[in-house]
Amino acid sequence: MREEIRKNRVKFIIVFALFVIVLVFMGVFFLNRLSGPDNEEEIGSEDTRIAAVGDSITYNLYVANGQEEFYPQQLDDLLGEGYAVHNFGVSNYAAQASSDFPYDTTDEYQESLDFDPEIVIMMLGTNDTKDTNWNGSGQFKDEYIDLLESYRDLPSVSRIILASPPAVFLEGAVISGGIDASRISVAGNTVEEIAAEYELEFVDMYEETINHPEYFPDGIHPNEEGSAALAELFYQQITEENAQ
């Protein structure tokens, strides 16, 4: 009898712990939707507007309480005067219109268009690798292009920088959200293929991060060091291209 009671207690503790974890992640997700990154800084009339389009890696769910650590904010600091980088990342959203959370249904998507950016940085694909969203690289490519076209059609846009999704390190992570690490490189290769076909700039974030698990404490979202590394790579791309 005592052994049975002990087993029941263990089962209860496990179920309760899982319930709490789910509640915490749901709470963080909905808080993220209610309070996005601060994009209220004043923009000069001569500033080059840069729209950072992405998911929670751009918004950065991991450092959501320290907004100065978002990679777009760090990129803005690196570029300095004459640039205005705005963060249009949305946690849990994907490039594909057929996904569970399509990016083009968000307020941030419309705001990124209304921002009239001159440069668009597009880093999506991580959430597209979920079992619920992934139907092969062909469909991912087609629907990624559909989203891309809405930025290519903007009269204000002079440059679009596509980035592959960073590497993910899910072993030991508490919750992966269904993201499939084996598909990340496939998605990245597809984005690189799109960039080549449309003659757009490309940053291989997968290759740049695959040897740096220390950037991603939860396996997916970059910490301050990881966000700084992403910002530096985009900074190099923007400034080196300007120098040519």
Task: Note the pLDDT tens digit of each residue in 182-208.
Answer: 899 999 999 999 999 999 999 999 999
Q: Which domain holds residue 86?
A: 36-243
Number of domains the chain contains: 1
- Domain assignment of residue 118, yes or no: yes
- Domain assignment of residue 199, yes or no: yes
Q: What is the CATH number of the domain that holds 123?
A: 3.40.50.1110
- Tens digits of residue pLDDT in 55-108: 999 987 655 445 457 899 999 999 999 999 999 999 999 999 999 999 999 999
What pLDDT, on the 0 to 100 scale, is given for residue 53?
98
- Domain assignment of residue 28, yes or no: no
Tell me whether residue 14 is exposed, middle or buried, using C-beta atoms within 10 angstroms of its C-beta: 0 to 12, 13 to 18, 19 or more. exposed
| pLDDT above 90: percentage of residues in the chain | 65
- Domain assignment of residue 41, yes or no: yes
Residues 6+ apart with CB under 8 A from 179: 126, 127, 129, 130, 168, 170, 220
What pLDDT, on the 0 to 100 scale, is given for residue 30?
44
- Domain assignment of residue 238, yes or no: yes
Q: Quote the CA–CA distance of 102 and 144 in Å, as a whole number.
A: 11
- Domain assignment of residue 16, yes or no: no
Q: Quote the CA–CA distance of 49 and 35 in Å, as a whole number.
A: 22
What pLDDT, on the 0 to 100 scale, is given for residue 177?
65
Per residue in 180-216, is it b (16+ CB within 10 Å) or e — as a string? bbebbbbbbebbbebbeeeebbbbbbbebbbeeeebb
- Domain assignment of residue 184, yes or no: yes
What is the residue-averaged pLDDT of the chain? 84
